[in-house]
Chains A and B, each alone.
Chain A
């Protein structure tokens, strides 16, 4: 199976999920909290003509105020901690947080040091962890689908309670 075929199948599945939960599209704001920049290469790859993720209803937006989900990369450096928190607070609820890459998941090779907080979940509640260094675009799409499923569960649980 070629990369294009893989993306076609995964993209369609993701599109179905997005339509079901969000009606039209899912808006993602990417935040680099101290990555090595390879994770950004892969996020950017999602928009190239081969993946062209927008056709499946996934938009990478410029402001956290427009976002349903934050996609955070990097181990969260001491110097980015505050900016990340501000971005999170600027994102309207209900919001999802995805930790992308080994660094974001648990600090990765940068660990927990004077300069690195050791992972996004030390600072924010994380809904889904997308491992890889960097995760391939396919893994990223899969991770986003898992996040959408989680949101669905959250909504159901809330409805059941009320």
Chain B
């Protein structure tokens, strides 16, 4: 870690720091509550470090306060700066940073619902996860809330933003949609065909995941991590396991690390194929969709042959992987090379079909400044020129040892996102090939009986983008587990991406953003 930069940050924060601690590549600064807006503003704008997560912990039992953590990523130094403020339980409020840093919006509303911490000066302090029928003063992530409680439904109302004007009408869609997709609510304000406003409302699939982590054994928590966002299972469980392994200070055997890398990339391939298939479906290009779906199915079947699970589940464990896949090397190489050959043909076909290209070029643009301001992550961010990839910026698993490019596009439209995904599929195939050829001999797992007390970040680049876990363990159980799914960042971008586009293009834009509801709602 580059100490010079840390020293510089310390100098910048000077007398606002109350306490400092370091573990691994994480530097924690406890700072004065009143200075948080100024400090975040400084780190975010002047040092240009992205804000990757905000979360609270309930420490009232220890010192009568809640703590709020602001996690900034030092992409170029593979480190994280975490600012921490203390919020007295009697006050339960703190200054909102959303007026300065837009991407803090949902985090602050989330903490308001889950912990009852009020962000003073928040421009949109409506409920987020707790619906209008949820009683006030009940906050599920507080330690004195029992997970089994079933609060009564109360009367309440959720107020949508409203657009007035001649000829403006509203189209409400969802939560139950026409297609086989997850539930969520969209409210369009439309004048003629163009969309002039979209408001999304989610959290229908809120399953109490973070609370659940605190109430189950660590063994079971591994399985829960696989089920936070089903089609990004591997990315989630690896992020979870890496945080645990950091806390336990264990070195995962090299062979296991390579196997994880292979699984992570297989997951990326089938997800990206699904997204490309979805775009072809939504422009009614049935042949392209069928072709892409067939390729996706081939990857799912390959997954099953390798791991016994079409979604690559049950393979990861804290300390390594459960099963070896080395003996299937030739089969995997053979199948992947066929899939890649077919995929190249498919992409040639797609990009030379005018009826498809017409629909996706310039559609659903997310400009670079919007993408940056909302902290859009993953392929969607990269298609808007944001050159970030956790695999390269905070290397984990075997990515440090392998060669790969991070594809970037600038236009930020549906076409750019499709190209980024297509290029990433090719990179993923190359990564798996490299990992299989270089697969080191040895053990695949170290066993541990107990996880010591501690806290750590775990992170991966899921197919949808940067996924971050922050875990604190006490007494061989999880005290707090904050999950930050990439969709939690990317959902708000859809409200911008659709503006001035026509309603029939909404499904394509939505597909091209590939957003998870479950991972977002948790």
Contacts and interface: CB of A to CB of B under 8 A. Distances in A.
B242 interface: no
Given A40-B182, A109-B223, A48 B206 contact: no
B204 A79 contact: yes
B294 A83 contact: no
A127 interface: no
Contact of B180 (A33, A44, A116, A134): A44
B442 interface: no
Contacts of A33: 183
B227 interface: yes
B212 A110 contact: yes
Contacts of A15: none
A48 B296 contact: yes
Interface in B204-249: 204-209, 211-212, 220, 223-224, 227-231, 233
Interface in A71-115: 74-75, 77-80, 83, 86-87, 108-115
Contacts of A136: 304, 310
B178 interface: yes
A109 B220 contact: yes
Contacts of B180: 30, 32, 40, 43-44, 60
A48 B212 contact: no
B156 interface: no
Interface stretch (B58-66, B145-153, B366-374): B145-153
B147 A48 contact: no
B279 to A, nearest CB: 14
A31 interface: yes
Interface in B285-320: 290, 293-294, 296-297, 300-301, 304, 310-311, 313
Nearest to A102: B227
B293 A113 contact: no
Given A36-B228, A40-B180, A50-B294, A133 B313 contact: yes
B517 A37 contact: yes
A48 B290 contact: yes
Nearest to A42: B310
B150 A79 contact: no
Contacts of B296: 48
A50 B140 CA distance: 44
A77 B310 CA distance: 25
Nearest to A80: B204
* Interface residue tally on B, bucketed by range: 35 or more
A32 B183 contact: yes
Nearest to B301: A3
Interface string B193-206: 00000000001111
A115 B230 contact: no
Contacts of A80: 175, 183, 204-205
A33 B206 CA distance: 10
B516 interface: yes
Q: Main SS of chain B's interface residues?
A: loop
B233 A31 contact: no
Nearest to B516: A37
Interface in B150-201: 150-151, 175-176, 178-183
B294 A134 contact: no
Contacts of B313: 133
Contacts of B300: 41, 45
Contacts of A48: 290, 293-294, 296-297
A156 B340 CA distance: 53
Given A48-B290, A83-B183, A114-B150, A38 B227 contact: yes
B334 to A, nearest CB: 16
B7 to A, nearest CB: 44
B131 interface: yes
B518 interface: yes
Contacts of B310: 41-42, 134, 136
B231 A41 contact: yes
Nearest to A45: B297
Interface string B413-450: 00000000000000000000000000000000000000
A146 B344 CA distance: 41
* Among A49, A74, A79, A134: residue with most chain B CB under 10 A: A79
Interface of B: 131, 140, 145, 147-151, 175-176, 178-183, 203-209, 211-212, 220, 223-224, 227-231, 233, 274, 290, 293-294, 296-297, 300-301, 304, 310-311, 313, 516-519, 521
12 contacts: A3-B301, A32-B181, A35-B518, A36-B227, A37-B182, A41-B230, A47-B293, A110-B207, A110-B227, A112-B148, A115-B140, A134-B230
10 closest residue pairs by CB, A with B: A38-B230, A115-B208, A62-B178, A36-B230, A48-B293, A37-B230, A34-B205, A36-B227, A79-B204, A30-B180
Given A41-B311, A110-B209, 12 more contacts: A32-B205, A34-B183, A34-B207, A35-B230, A36-B518, A37-B231, A40-B180, A41-B230, A64-B176, A79-B206, A109-B224, A114-B140
